[in-house]
């Protein structure tokens, strides 16, 4: 039994160490074309736990978005902190803006925890012309994600009242 348990742990550690990086991940392009449309897509926590090839079909989602003509930036990430991950996405969004990509050519989207990352990125970037797609990011009532969502909405209300 110990041998089986050890082999199972070793396999899991090798297969899922660090993140769920995959050849189908889409990083920032080497060359930024201001005429193209860009989308950042963040998956939910399910992928953090089960990997990108489970029932969620993460890579086919990226393929389908790409087939619509977008330059897709997305990666299967392992367990991550929402705010820290959003910092990285915000830096990439700002890199596109600094390279001359119009804000109207950028979309930040995510499902579930990815939606929370998208909301957090929106707050960090602060550019109203960027499009945001948020899918099921409110969290369950009473969960830490719901509290984060409620705090985000409260801050958003305050910033929209003062014009920032």
Mean of the pLDDT values across residues 122-143? 83
- Give tens-digit pLDDT for 124-133: 999 989 999 8
Contacts (Cβ under 8 Å, ≥6 apart) of 40:
73, 74, 89, 92, 93, 106, 107, 108, 109, 110, 118, 121
What are the residue ranges spanned by the domains of the chain? 25-161
- Give tens-digit pLDDT for 27-62: 999 999 999 999 999 998 887 887 777 777 888 889
Please give the model's pTM, rounded to 2 decimal places. Answer: 0.73
**CATH H-level, domain 25-161: superfamily:** Alpha/Beta hydrolase fold, catalytic domain (3.40.50.1820)
C-alpha 124/C-alpha 132 separation (Å) is 13
- Give tens-digit pLDDT for 57-112: 888 889 999 999 999 999 999 898 988 999 999 999 999 999 999 999 999 999 98
C-alpha 156/C-alpha 127 separation (Å) is 13
Higher pLDDT, 96 or 145: 96
CB-facing half-sphere around the CA of 46: CA atoms within 13 A: 14
Q: Is 71 helix (H, G, I), strand (E, B) or coil?
A: strand
Q: Would you state the pLDDT for residue 17?
A: 35
Mean of the pLDDT values across residues 104-125? 92
Q: Would you state the pLDDT for residue 12?
A: 32
Cβ–Cβ < 8 Å for 121, 93:
yes
Q: Is the pLDDT of residue 2 over 60?
A: no
Biggest alpha carbon distance in the chain?
A: 63
> DSSP code of 119?
H
The CA–CA distances, whole Å, from 71 to 26, 33, 39, 97 equal: 9, 10, 6, 14
Contacts (Cβ under 8 Å, ≥6 apart) of 27:
73, 75
Q: Would you state the pLDDT for residue 152?
A: 65
């Amino acid at each position: 039994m110990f041998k089986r348990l050890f082999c199972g742990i070793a396999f899991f550690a090798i297969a899922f160490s660090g993140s769920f990086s995959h050849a189908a991940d889409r990083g920032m392009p080497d060359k930024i074309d201001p005429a193209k449309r860009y989308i950042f897509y963040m998956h939910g926590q399910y992928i953090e736990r089960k990997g990108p090839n489970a029932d969620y079909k993460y890579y086919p989602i990226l393929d389908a978005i790409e087939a619509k003509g977008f330059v897709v930036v997305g990666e299967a990430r392992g367990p991550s902190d929402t705010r820290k991950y959003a910092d990285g996405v915000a830096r990439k969004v700002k890199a596109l803006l600094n390279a001359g990509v119009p804000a109207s050519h950028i979309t930040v989207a995510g499902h579930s925890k990815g939606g929370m990352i998208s909301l957090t990125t929106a707050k960090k970037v602060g550019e109203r012309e960027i499009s945001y797609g948020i899918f099921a990011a409110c969290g369950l009532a009473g969960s830490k994600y719901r509290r984060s969502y409620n705090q985000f909405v409260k801050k958003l209300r305050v910033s929209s009242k003062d014009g920032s």
